[in-house]
Structures are given as C-alpha cells and as structure tokens.
Amino acid sequence: MVLQLQRVYEAPSTTDGTRILVDRLRPRGLTKEKAHVDLWLKEVAPSNDLRKWFAHDPPNGPSSKPAIRLN
C-alpha cells in the first residue's frame, strides 16, 4: 500500500485514491463538498492540548519530541 500525504486544500487528482482527513477541526473556509474527503478520522488526530502545545510555542517545532501517551 502506498500512502500519499497531501493538504486538504489541494485540488483532488484522478490518482488520489481514497482521501482521508485526520484532524479534529474542519478546515477553515472549506465545505465538505469542496474538500472531496472520503473519510474524516477525528478520533485519531492529535488532542487539542497537543495541537495548542505545538502551535503556540516555536521551540516545540518538528525537531522537539513531545511525550505522547497512547492508551
């Protein structure tokens, strides 16, 4: 199986396959119809606390590793 990462704002392509959105919030300014998302997995997206931690503290960028606990 080949996975391809793509922003939800990018126009769908005939080679996309199944489009899955992994986010807790609906993308701003984008309706369900315009997003062309086949499946929305809110449950597996990062928690709101983790989103806030990552977005509001620049040193917490991709080079930092947050402690993520999976239950």
- Helices and strands (H and E) in the chain: how many: 2, 2
Sorting pLDDT into bands at 50, 70 and 90, what band is 70?
Answer: low
pLDDT tens-place string over residues 28-54: 898 888 889 999 999 999 888 888 887
Between 21 and 67, residue with greater pLDDT: 21
Q: Is residue 17's pLDDT more than 80?
A: yes
Closest CA to 42 of 25, 59, 19, 62: 25
Q: Dihedral sign, CA of 47, 52, 54, 59?
A: negative
- Enter the pTM of the model: 0.65
Residues 6+ apart with CB under 8 A from 39: 18, 19, 20, 21
